[in-house]
């Protein structure tokens, strides 16, 4: 497989455990380590053939799920496996924010290795949404939206900015960005403008 894998965690001993797990799953991968979000973002932007990011949500410089969004901006095609102690509720939020998976830090080494293997499988290229039956593909994506994601996308279609959406829904701007990242991932687009264009061009009524 080759390439590189980035471990982003501020605990040296846990990074060492993750190095062991990575080495067992992909022994020929180059392993990079970062102890802060800023360092992780810098490495992600310059790493050669980056295949996977292992991310702790509670690192210096990180707030909520913003670290997932930041790293996805740097390398949108690289899967992010969150391995954190943020609690059970974090799994769904992390996935909606764009993570390929979530694992609690209390998991044993075997479970970590299995999660790494699954996350690497997640990196397999997906067929582009426009290759066949685009309307049905977008309808399926829209059907998978959470109620809040639908409200965010409706506000985007109305031309509202993140600050306005946050005020309208009573949530933070960071949370709006998390939901928008999940929407773009599900629609297989890279910008909010593309998300709006896809929905408009196919005449899908989100208010049904």
Q: Which helix (H) or strand (E) element contains residue 114? A: helix 109-122
Secondary structure (3-state) at 144: coil
Angle, in degrees to the nearest 10, between helices 173-187 and 162-169: 110
Domain 129-201 CATH class label: mainly alpha
Structure tokens at 191: 């910008």
176 within 8 A of 64, measured Cβ to Cβ: no
5 within 8 A of 29, measured Cβ to Cβ: yes
Question: pLDDT digit of tens for each residue in the chain (208 aa)?
Answer: 568 999 999 999 899 999 999 998 888 889 999 999 899 999 998 888 899 999 998 888 877 788 888 888 888 888 999 988 877 778 878 887 888 888 888 888 888 888 888 888 765 444 444 444 556 777 788 888 888 888 998 888 888 888 899 999 998 888 888 888 888 888 888 777 778 877 776 666 666 5
Structure tokens at 2: 């080759």
Give domain limits for the chain. 4-122, 129-201
Domain 4-122 CATH class label: alpha beta
- CA angle (37, 40, 42) in 5-degree steps: 110
Secondary structure (3-state) at 190: coil
pTM greater than 0.75 (yes/no): no
């Amino acid at each position: 497989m080759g390439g590189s894998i980035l471990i982003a965690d501020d605990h040296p001993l846990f990074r060492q455990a993750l190095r062991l797990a990575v080495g067992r799953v992909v022994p020929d991968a180059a392993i990079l380590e970062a102890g802060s979000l800023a360092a992780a973002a810098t490495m992600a932007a310059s790493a050669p053939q980056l295949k996977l990011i292992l991310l702790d949500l509670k690192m210096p410089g990180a707030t909520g799920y913003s670290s997932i969004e930041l790293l996805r901006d740097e390398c949108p095609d690289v899967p992010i496996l969150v391995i954190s102690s943020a609690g059970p509720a974090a799994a769904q939020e992390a996935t909606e924010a764009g993570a390929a998976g979530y694992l609690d830090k209390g998991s044993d080494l075997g479970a970590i290795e299995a999660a790494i293997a699954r996350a690497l499988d997640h990196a397999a290229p997906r067929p582009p949404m426009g290759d066949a039956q685009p309307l049905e593909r977008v309808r399926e994506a829209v059907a998978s939206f959470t109620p809040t994601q639908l409200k965010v996308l409706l506000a985007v279609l109305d031309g509202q900015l993140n600050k306005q959406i946050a005020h309208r829904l009573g949530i933070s701007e960071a949370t709006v960005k998390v939901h928008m990242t999940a929407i773009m991932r599900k629609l297989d687009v890279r910008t909010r403008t593309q998300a709006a264009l896809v929905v408009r061009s196919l005449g899908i009524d989100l208010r049904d």
